[in-house]
Structure 1
Amino acid sequence: MRYRFEAELRRWEARVHDDWYFVDLPLEQSAEIHEWADALPRAGFGAVKVTARVGATSWSTSIFPGASGVYSLVLNARVRRAEGIEPGDTVVAEVELAG
């Protein structure tokens, strides 16, 4: 399963002394992933393994479920630098669930 979405890059405010930046998957896509999550390889904290892509950059990672019911994708510094992404930018991202 592959999902493409647009979201604003935001900083994780719970860890203000760390530089963690996320984009959130839409609620509808998150709900669908949640339905399939029990049959997928899982990582800690309920994370789901994915291959992610932003622009020309792709990487293996996990998406993490949040209290609001949506999954979040971390965009690390390497990805942000490679794609010229800054906090507040709208990002077009794609995730493919690992099977």
Structure 2
Amino acid sequence: MKGIAFDALVDLFPGLGGWHYVPVPTEVRDAIGGHTTRGLIPVRAAIGTTAWDTSLQPMGDGSHFIALKAAVRRAEGITVGDRVTVTVSRR
């Protein structure tokens, strides 16, 4: 997949049923045309051989994240604390 790649650590939102996610660097968000600190930014994301349609979601502090759904984590063997390479492109 052609797009912008970045490395990130997989984290987990606190609380019961918290989402697995990766933070998106501000420079990556801006490079794909997401010059905003609010709202969803629709993207195509890929980790390894798994690609999916998702959105950059706001954290509330001006930064964004990508949620990693269970199917993606299973397919790529991803757990909290793993360093992954994510590729994103605007949809």
Q: TM-score, normalised by structure 1?
A: 0.78
User: For the residues of structure 1 that align with 2:65 and 2:77, how far apart are their CA atoms?
Assistant: 20
Instruction: Report whether the alignment pairs 1:5 with 2:9.
Output: no
RMSD (Å) for aligned C-alpha atoms:
1.9
Greater fraction of residues in helix: 1
Q: What fraction of aligned residue pairs are identical, expressed as a percent?
A: 33
Q: After the TM superposition, which segments of 4 or more aligned residues of structure 1 sit over 6 Å from their partners?
A: none
Instruction: Report whether the alignment pairs 1:76 with 2:69.
Output: yes
Structure 2 SS opposite 1:7: strand
Maintained 8 Å contact 1:31/1:70 = no
Structure 2 SS opposite 1:73: strand
Instruction: Report whether the alignment pairs 1:34 with 2:27.
Output: no
Aligned length: 88
Q: TM-score, normalised by structure 2?
A: 0.84
Identify the residue that residue 89 of structure 1 maps to in structure 2. Answer: 82
Amino acid at match of 1:26: P
Query: Runs of 5+ in structure 1 lacking a partner?
Result: 38-44
Q: Deviations over 1:23-57 (max 9, x none)?
A: 0111222344432x6xxxxxxx7111111100000
Amino acid at match of 1:96: S
Structure 2 SS opposite 1:61: strand
User: For the residues of structure 2 that align with 1:95 and 1:71, how far apart are their CA atoms?
Assistant: 13
